Structure 1
Amino acid sequence: MTLPREFGFAMPPEWALHARTFITWPVCEDTWPDELEEVRDAYAHVAKTIARFEPVTVIARPHLADDAARRCGENVTVLAMDYDDSWIRDNGPTFIKKANGEVAAINWQFNAWGGKYAWEKDNLVAPAIISHYGVRSFDAPFIMEGGSLHVDGEGTLLTTEECLLNPNRNPHLDKSAIEAELRQYLGIDKVIWLKQGLDGDHTDGHVDNVACFSRPGTVLIQACYDPADPNYAIYQENLAILQAATDAQGRSLEIIPIEQPPALYLDDLRMAASYINFYTCNGGIILPVFGGECAEADQKAQAIIQKAFPNHEVVPVDGRLILTGGGNVHCLTQQMPK
């Protein structure tokens, strides 16, 4: 089997120029039994906000396509397709690119975060998108989710052991084997392994809630300063790893902490509220904020991210209702490079 790296493909960083953003229309009544219509409006707001910066394709079940188009407006394209849930970061394709500009895509296997929900239709979404856009496909014979990884575009990948080494994903692959697969499929040279994700994260610790690159050599990390909070020990451990790490180019990392919002709960369960779960598009940063008791933390996070991305417009969007489904803006989007 020929692998992407052999052809010169690698995953671009999220801040590289996009051709479009994909979003999947909310359908899961188990996730949002009483709020589904309000959540659809929230997704539509995110879609319309991103459409200020780049083309957006919303994937919707055929019988919902007209409603999605009406809510999202004329600047958003709707593609009819069947699926199970609305987190395309994890079940959609991961796009890769060659130096000559050719774009291809990886069709990972998907099992709904370790078999937590139905996934048979979700596992068919990536190949359907790849076929629709006519790009070369590489079928990966193992489970991987887009929210579990971030790259810097210069050979370094950031992930967590909690997710990638979880036996509910790829029990036949150990750490070195997973690292070898990521090198071949994503064209990276070094993996920085953080330990755990946020408390309350049902994805088993996706890195896109914890830390991300803002440019090569610089990492944003969500910080917790309360020793009584479970996220405190998680933050301290991950911070120590980053402080000791070098990237694929041999650089020590500049680390920029962003204090977490106050704890938010749903039915007495902690939710994984994160400012790191923002989405970088062409000239814009779509930042989830939470309002209310989080307003001061929201403003501080926005200011730090604006400083980290001086050439982007940081646009806050209400992420509180979306968060009740277990993810946020980064989770509901997937980029296709230009």
Structure 2
Amino acid sequence: MTDAISDKGYRMPAEWEPHSAIWLAWPYDEKSFPERVGKVENAITKIISAIHLSEQVELLVLDNAMRQKAEQKLCGLDVEINKITFRTVEYIDGWMRDCGPMFVKDKFGRPAMVKWIFNVWGGKFTDLLPDDKLPYRMKDWLKINMEEPQLVLEGGAIDLNGQGLCLTTEQCVLNENRNLGKTKKDVERYLDKYLGVKKTVWLFEGLINDHTDGHIDELARFVGPNKIVCAYEDNPKDENYAILKNNYETLAGATNLEGRPFEVIKLPMPHLYFKDAPAGNEQDSKAPVSYTNFYIGNKVVLASVFNDPNDEKALQILRSCFPGHEVIGIDCSDIIYGGGAIHCLTQQQTL
């Protein structure tokens, strides 16, 4: 981290700031979505249909045959194909939030990308390592500067308000399977140099069965400069109760750069269990889902829902947080078999 980097004055805008595009990858891998690829394709199609009129869609496809298949499905929902830029490239899983770069601006307002080290969530899925190369292709396409800090970090591991504040978890970013030997201060220096973060609020851990080791985008998100929505479980017998209670209390006791407390809003929890889990092993079958895994677009908020009784309550809370946006719920009950939901699939490109 040289003085030259520091002098560039990088800042990662908040997700609600204007985008020029949204990046997605067309799903195809049966290993990622066993017996569910078709259903996940349908969900991606709904995501694109909901967002494409308010921001350009950059869509990764493997080849022309996949492009034609995607076009056919999209046309079935009256998507305007001229709003889609198809990018032909090799990829496997394509969770753009984590394997893709983060888009930032320098002190002159010029766009740049930050490519962190992507080690497939602590080395758990080595067959997906080729996706770490996607940012290089994106750099070639977009022809903008790209920095490469020597820190393991996924996009889902942090959430920023665009004004110097960051949320993250110790379980993920300080995990020995990612950044062995690094301290909070070490990580915070990187976040400052490359994203413009001046203060980080550290939660301890994330949801049960989350193979990402506690990504923040399943726990808490900024919905305004000083406003946070936080996943919260009311049932003391639930496996996530103590974890989420501790997270809420940490946020409620935290302060912003001026020393003022945040407005912290509780989001209820959905309860989804993997259908193919071993019988009687309910804890291991509990899916790591929450309503914080939403995407904030230019005019719409795409909210992950799960055919759960709490879906509508969560949507109403999000609508109150985003009165200027249309909040659209999209069923992610099949997407979660791949390990994520809407926010995990997407990456915004700053305007």
Q: Taking structure 2 as the reference length, what is the TM-score of the superposition?
A: 0.92
**1:106 is aligned to 2:106:** no
Q: What are the within-5 Å matches in structure 2 for residues 53-132 of structure 1? A: 53-63=54-64, 64-73=66-75, 74=81, 75-117=83-125, 118-132=127-141
**Counterpart code for 2:273:** L
**1:247 is aligned to 2:247:** no
How big is each residue's C-alpha offset from its partner over 1:230-263, in whole Å with a ceiling of 9 and x where there is no partner?
2110111111111111122322110000110124
How big is each residue's C-alpha offset from its partner over 1:248-293, in whole Å with a ceiling of 9 and x where there is no partner?
23221100001101243343311111110000000110011111xx
- Alpha-carbon distance in 1 for matches of 2:203, 2:294: 19
Contact 1:302 1:316 in 2 (8 A): yes
Contact 1:4 1:187 in 2 (8 A): no
Q: State the shift of 1:108 in Å.
A: 1.0
- Alpha-carbon distance in 2 for matches of 1:210, 1:27: 28
- Alpha-carbon distance in 1 for matches of 2:220, 2:73: 32
How big is each residue's C-alpha offset from its partner over 1:295-331, in whole Å with a ceiling of 9 and x where there is no partner?
x311100000000111111011111111121100000
Where does residue 165 of structure 1 map in the other structure?
A: 174
- Alpha-carbon distance in 2 for matches of 1:262, 1:35: 20
Contact 1:266 1:324 in 2 (8 A): no
Where does residue 175 of structure 1 map in the other structure?
A: 184
Of residues 323, 329, 335, the one that matches 1:316 is: 329
- Alpha-carbon distance in 2 for matches of 1:252, 1:266: 41
**Counterpart code for 2:297:** C
- Alpha-carbon distance in 2 for matches of 1:159, 1:38: 31
Task: Select between 66-75 and 206-215 the one with higher mean Cα deviation.
Answer: 66-75
- Alpha-carbon distance in 2 for matches of 1:240, 1:272: 21
Partner SS state of residue 316, structure 1: strand
Task: Select between 220-229 and 177-186 the one with higher mean Cα deviation.
Answer: 177-186
Contact 1:69 1:76 in 2 (8 A): no
- Alpha-carbon distance in 2 for matches of 1:173, 1:60: 37
- Alpha-carbon distance in 2 for matches of 1:39, 1:174: 38
Partner SS state of residue 119, structure 1: helix
Identity %: 35
Where does residue 290 of structure 2 map in the other structure?
A: 274
Contact 1:91 1:110 in 2 (8 A): yes
Q: State the shift of 1:2 in Å.
A: 5.2
How big is each residue's C-alpha offset from its partner over 1:127-149, in whole Å with a ceiling of 9 and x where there is no partner?
21122101111111221100000
Partner SS state of residue 90, structure 1: helix
What are structure 2's unaligned runs of at least 5 residues? 76-80, 278-284
Q: What are the within-5 Å matches in structure 2 for residues 175-194 of structure 1? A: 175-194=184-203
Q: 1:310 to 1:84 in 2, by over 3 A?
A: same
Q: What are the within-5 Å matches in structure 2 for residues 140-219 of structure 1? A: 140-219=149-228
Partner SS state of residue 169, structure 1: helix
**Counterpart code for 1:70:** Q
Q: 1:39 to 1:50 in 2, by over 3 A?
A: same
**Counterpart code for 2:18:** L
Where does residue 302 of structure 2 map in the other structure?
A: 286
- Alpha-carbon distance in 1 for matches of 2:345, 2:225: 24
Contact 1:26 1:40 in 2 (8 A): yes
Q: 1:3 to 1:72 in 2, by over 3 A?
A: farther
- Alpha-carbon distance in 2 for matches of 1:119, 1:169: 16
Partner SS state of residue 334, structure 2: helix
Q: State the shift of 1:15 in Å.
A: 0.2
Partner SS state of residue 130, structure 1: helix
Say how many residue pairs are matched.
335
Q: State the shift of 1:4 in Å.
A: 4.5
**1:299 is aligned to 2:312:** yes
Q: 1:176 to 1:99 in 2, by over 3 A?
A: closer
Partner SS state of residue 46, structure 1: helix
Where does residue 348 of structure 2 map in the other structure?
A: 335
Where does residue 244 of structure 2 map in the other structure?
A: 235
Task: Select between 10-19 and 27-36 the one with higher mean Cα deviation.
Answer: 27-36
Contact 1:94 1:146 in 2 (8 A): yes
Superposed CA RMSD in Å reads 1.5
